[in-house]
Homo-oligomer: A and B are copies of this chain.
Amino acid sequence: MWKPDRRSKKPLYQQIADDMERRILYGEYPPGSFLPSERKLAEQIEVNRSTVIQAYEELRAKGIVESSSGSGTRVSKRLLGVTPSLTPNWRAYARGGTFAPNLPMIRRIREVLRERGSIIDFASGELSPDLYPNQAIQQLLREAPFEAPLGYDDPQGFLPLRETLVSFLDKQLNIRTTESSILITSGSQQSLYLITQCLLAPGDAVAIEDPSYSYSLPMFQSAGLRLFRIPVHENGIDPEEIESLFRQHRIRMIFLNPNYQNPTGSILAASKRPRLLKLAAELGIPIVEDDPFSLTSFDNRPPANLKSIDAHGSVLYVGSLSKIAASGLRVGWLIAPQTVVKRLADARQQMDFGLSVVPQWLANEFLRSGLFDRHIRFLRDALSRKQLHLMTALNRMLADKFSCIPAQGGLNSWLKLNQPVDDSKLLEESLKRGVVFMPGTVFGSEPGYVRFSFARPADHELESGIQKFAQALHALND
């Protein structure tokens, strides 16, 4: 983000006017389009609003912009030609297409995170930067010989990585598969996008958990799916509900996150798993097992994955490096029967001609070296310690105001507040105090729940973050 130079002799407003003129001439703001509002720009570049007003005044005097009262400042259409040119109505074009926008609450939180780097962040379901395998990655980049071909990759993904995954998944999770059953994706998000776009049609009914990470993804709406929700209890969903949903709505697919579920942290009881698989097979509906967290299991004993005990072949397994290594690598995998993998690989070619070979090569080196094993041990310890910190702080500062079952893996703690609260008021009070979290309603739960990601804040922020949150809660209840 460009900012004016406070040590320059040129006045601030003039610097802003010059920078904006350049952006207009270079097409960032074409004729007829709106400049950022004065308030917003002032916030972004950290100057007084009056300075921006003065800068816009300067541009107006030069005939570069014009302002219509109420609707803001827009770039003059007469700027560059003798006759007023039409030029594309970009705002209308940008409203095209079928991508649903994010939930307003999520947009609000993202905006805050972008603009206020110093806020204590319990909202992002992401590891804190010191939990990434930074050293391992630097070492591999420096030392591992890069021998991957640099042409368009195999549509299913880099073969050596798929081969490594076959033994990796067998060793780590008892999942038996073949290299032809694996599609390398740029993370679980792309796996889910491919599944919803290619195997389902608008109007199809699908089952998701309630609450559910999937609920927070506009992707499901964009695909025009009808979502039916199955309550998540302390030990996961009740498989019998699948059958009644099928009878009533002909659901065509089930999306589950059985281990350390996002957002609740719950585990689908091992005893329920065979029944669930049997039902799905009898009804002929695939289960998408979204499984980013299994390897974070604090005691290194994740419950056996659906995929590993699926004798009927009903499970589409979705894995990713995002939560066990680093989300910026954008490497994930989807395991499915040949027909499905081929179909999804083909569709993906149309979207992006496949993945970059560089992160795939790097992921392969990482997984097959001893570096991964060392890293994952470190990560498990760190996460379990962070959760403990969080729970201690919560118990000390909020005592009888909440209940929470500590998770045994994953990145998230799920709190039920014992008093009724207004989610968005609680969020705003917290933002004021410099802390942010995810209100449960984002995941489709009723009000009064919150998700704290304990993986994201630095250790020293856990305590002060909860203190701020407690203050926000008190302020509301007064």
Q: B152 near A352 (CB under 8 angstroms)?
A: no
- Copies of this polypeptide in the complex: 2
- Of the candidate stretches A258-266, A335-343, A409-417, the one touching chain B is A335-343
Residues of B within 8 A of A23 (CB): 178, 180-181
Q: B181 near A26 (CB under 8 angstroms)?
A: yes
Q: Which residues of A in the span 131-185 have a Cβ within 8 Å of any Cβ on B?
A: 132, 134, 137-138, 141-143, 145-146, 148-153, 176-178, 180-181, 185
Residues of B within 8 A of A314 (CB): 30, 87-88
- Of the candidate stretches A206-214, A282-290, A426-434, A465-473, the one touching chain B is A282-290
Residue of B86, B137, B201, B326 near A284 (CB, 8 A) is B86
Residues of B within 8 A of A83 (CB): 282
Residues of B within 8 A of A11 (CB): none
A354 sits at the interface (CB 8 A)? yes
Complex: how many Å from CA A85 to CA B148?
Answer: 42
CB distance from A170 to the nearest CB of B (A): 10
Number of interface residues, chain A, beta carbon within 8 A: 107
A219 sits at the interface (CB 8 A)? yes
- Of the candidate stretches A186-194, A384-392, A437-445, the one touching chain B is A186-194
Q: B200 near A97 (CB under 8 angstroms)?
A: yes
Residue of B81, B198, B358 near A99 (CB, 8 A) is B198
Q: Assuming A283-B86, A351-B351, is B146 touching A141 (CB within 8 A)?
A: yes
Q: Which residues of A in the span 349-377 have a Cβ within 8 Å of any Cβ on B?
A: 350-359, 362
Q: A357 near B340 (CB under 8 angstroms)?
A: no
Q: B328 near A80 (CB under 8 angstroms)?
A: no
A217 sits at the interface (CB 8 A)? yes
Q: A193 near B312 (CB under 8 angstroms)?
A: no
Q: B180 near A350 (CB under 8 angstroms)?
A: no
A458 sits at the interface (CB 8 A)? no
Residue of B22, B129, B281 near A87 (CB, 8 A) is B281
Q: A33 near B201 (CB under 8 angstroms)?
A: no
Residue of B124, B185, B278, B339 near A90 (CB, 8 A) is B339
Q: Which 8 interchain pairs have the tightest Cβ spacing?
A: A30-B313, A86-B284, A150-B326, A97-B198, A330-B356, A94-B343, A190-B352, A99-B347
**24 cross-chain CB contacts under 8 A:** A23-B181, A28-B177, A28-B181, A33-B313, A81-B312, A83-B282, A86-B282, A88-B314, A93-B199, A94-B340, A96-B201, A97-B197, A127-B151, A138-B146, A141-B141, A151-B327, A185-B352, A217-B350, A328-B358, A330-B352, A330-B353, A330-B356, A356-B358, A356-B359
Residues of A within 8 A of B (CB): 22-23, 25-31, 33, 80-81, 83, 85-91, 93-94, 96-99, 101-102, 124, 126-127, 129, 132, 134, 137-138, 141-143, 145-146, 148-153, 176-178, 180-181, 185-187, 189-190, 193, 197-201, 204, 217-219, 222, 278, 281-286, 310-315, 326-331, 335, 337-340, 342-343, 346-347, 350-359, 362
